[in-house]
Chains A and B, each alone.
Chain A
Amino acid sequence: MNLDALPIEKLLLKRKSLRRELLSGSNLHDLRIAVLGGSTTNELVDLLEVLLLNSGFRPTFYQSEYNRYYEDAVLEPQLIANFRPDLTYIHTTAVNIQSYPPLTCTEAELPGHVTAETERFRRIWQSIQQHVDCQIVQNNFELPANAILGNLDAVSPAGRTRFTNELNLALACAARENPRLILQDIQGLATRLGLEKWTDPNRWFSYKLATTIDGSFAIACSLASIVRAVYGKSRKCLVLDLDNTLWGGVIGDDGPDKIQIGRETAIAEAYTDFQEYCLSMQKRGILLAVCSKNNDATAKQGFEHPDSVLKLEHFSAFKANWEPKHENILAIAKELNLGVDSFVFVDDNPAERVIVEAQIPGVAVPDVGTDVSRFAAILEAGRFFEPISLAEDDLQRAKQYEANSQRADAEKKFANYDEYLDSLEMTAEIEPFRPVYMDRIVQLTNKTNQFNLTTRRYTLAELESAIANNHIGIYGKLTDRFGDNGLVSVILGRIENVDLHLDLWLMSCRVLKRDMELAMLDRIAELGRRAGVHTLYGYYRPTAKNGLVSDHYTKMGFTLCSHDSETVTWWLDIRNYRARNNHIKLMELSNG
Chain B
Amino acid sequence: MDNLLPEVQDIFRDIFDQPNLVITRASNASTVDDWDSLAHINLITAIEKHYKIKFALGELQELKNVGEMLNLMQAKLAAK
Contacts and interface: CB of A to CB of B under 8 A. Distances in A.
16 contacts: A8-B49, A9-B46, A12-B15, A12-B42, A12-B45, A12-B46, A13-B11, A13-B15, A14-B14, A16-B14, A17-B17, A43-B42, A201-B57, A202-B55, A207-B41, A213-B45
Interface residues of A, number: 18
A16 B17 contact: yes
Which of A8, A14, A202, A205: most chain B CB closer than 10 A?
A202
B41 A209 contact: yes
Nearest to B55: A202
Contacts of A8: 49
Contacts of B17: 16-17, 20
B49 A213 contact: yes
B38 A42 contact: yes
A12 B15 CA distance: 8
Interface in A6-29: 8-9, 12-14, 16-17, 20
B75 interface: no
B50 to A, nearest CB: 7
A206 interface: yes
Which of A9, A201, A209: most chain B CB closer than 10 A?
A9
Contacts of A12: 15, 42, 45-46, 49
B16 interface: yes
B49 A43 contact: no
Contact of B14 (A13, A46, A205, A213): A13
Contacts of A201: 57
* Chain B interface bracket (under 10, 10 to 19, 20 to 34, 35 or more): 10 to 19
Contacts of A46: 42
Interface string B25-38: 00000000000011
A202 B46 contact: no
B78 interface: no
A202 B15 contact: no
Which of A9, A13, A46: most chain B CB closer than 10 A?
A13
Contacts of A20: 17
Interface in A43-96: 43, 46
Nearest to A13: B14
Which of B14, B15, B16, B45: most chain A CB closer than 10 A?
B45
A206 B45 contact: no
Contacts of A213: 45, 49
Interface of B: 11, 14-17, 37-38, 41-42, 45-46, 49-50, 54-57
A13 B17 CA distance: 9
Nearest to A16: B17
Q: Kindly list the 6 A-B residue pairs having the minimum CB-CB distance in the complex, ordered from nearest.
A: A16-B17, A13-B14, A9-B49, A202-B57, A213-B45, A17-B17
Contacts of B57: 201-202, 205-206
A39 to B, nearest CB: 12
A207 B42 CA distance: 11
A207 B16 CA distance: 19
A209 B38 CA distance: 11
A558 B61 CA distance: 73
A201 B15 CA distance: 24
Given A8-B49, A207-B41, 19 more contacts: A9-B46, A9-B49, A12-B42, A12-B46, A12-B49, A13-B11, A13-B15, A14-B14, A16-B16, A17-B14, A42-B38, A42-B41, A43-B42, A46-B42, A201-B57, A202-B54, A202-B55, A206-B57, A213-B49
B14 A43 contact: no
B56 A202 contact: yes
A131 to B, nearest CB: 29
Given A20-B17, A206-B57, A13 B41 contact: no
A17 B16 CA distance: 9
Contacts of A9: 46, 49-50
A12 B41 CA distance: 11
Contact of A13 (B46, B55, B56): B46
